[in-house]
A and B are shown apart, each in its own frame.
Chain A
């Protein structure tokens, strides 16, 4: 009898230890990142990952969220959709992540979206949202709507210049295509006419044909949509053509712009995100939030461009806010809470999510800037 009691007691104790250790092991909230750490998206996605990791560290330093520390799991999708499916699947089934805060390889995010939705895990993305309605339901984006970069430039042209005819020069990526569409549609609103739309490829070494065409059509400025070395190519071509065209380019790593400014001087403008022109910002909620991010960022990465990383930071902060709101770590609950976040101050602007809006930056956060004395400067 006594022996049996003892055994039962021991078993209960053992079970208690087991459950305790299981609870301990479960105490982290796991964030999965599928990022193109190698391949074409490497620059953007490494920055995004660094932003996510920085934010997770900041949250953990404050004791985590609702009693759990954040754990970040990163897998390289090599900027390939097939690899993305594999690593998403790995993080879902092997690591059992609670949420994805994934990078800018949109094809990779789209390819895996079906899997993620079936597992009822929410996604906060760097890229544009998937196209399928059932997939959009679970996906949120920190990306400003495609139109913002365009309308900011139109606004500038309308208010500060006499230029009313523009050419649009874009690459074939989905985001650039979306922006091109907006450029065509929104022009009239600003009294502007799009006199030419030309496409180029990211590895084109000469854009003078496209530029000359648009100039011949009467364009006074070129809106360039797309990332990378082609901006410098466009600048050089404009100079070679002896043209007076203004070049207004999209959001980009500031480092890319310095040589461009050397070529075109005061004829060169770019769209800047708030974190890129931190010093010029008025005091307020936005500046405070960016300051929170920039402090550890500068400490760790000195003067590396903060733009993409700041959105990764936002991704984590949105997630944390949703967990707090939901008082749950449960996938569907966090999803529902994400959808209800309004007036959320991020480093890129204010996020207003809703059942129909999962790309939450609804107020244009951008600035038009130039490079003066090697530093970005907001043009007023």
Chain B
């Protein structure tokens, strides 16, 4: 804990608005190498907006930088090509398409490189063997947990340098949430930095190196999860 680790992703005074509604006010957060960072907050706090702002899906002021360089604004295609990849809220999987087609779309930028495609697919299927059993099944016909795995797997197919996840545990049974969190920990340990947005704190807090608390569009606290004895400690921020 001597030299400060390198900051991979950092936002400075990042502000986002929808028309006249300011949904995110001057947020400063960062994610360092090897970290899984959580952003916690109640419904409507601006968590999704924060991720959308980083990706360029919302109109913003302030900066989001990646490896010290500012990310292009309002150009999600350019941002994702830098390796900043979002697993969107509600998973955003393509229901009528097969699992395999969904994964191919994850590697959209890869074009014809079959060998690299094979390597990435092998990695994803090793992480989520259940997807391998369901490759030719339509994505929409799978369970919620499997769909979430597919969403993460699809993001991994683009070989991300950092993964942004928007409430992956939404609507899932505790057992399935635990399984997914376990996989995220595995990815983090393999060296993939993760920014994880959640409403329900416990699962995320177990993994996170650091947790920001976002309420009404503002970062109101930055906590070390080890300092939190229970979920109730968060409530005082939420019901401010």
Q: Taking the complex as a whole, does A directly touch B, i.e. does some CB pair lie under 8 Å apart? A: no
Hey, which bits of chain A sit against chain B, CB under 8 A? none
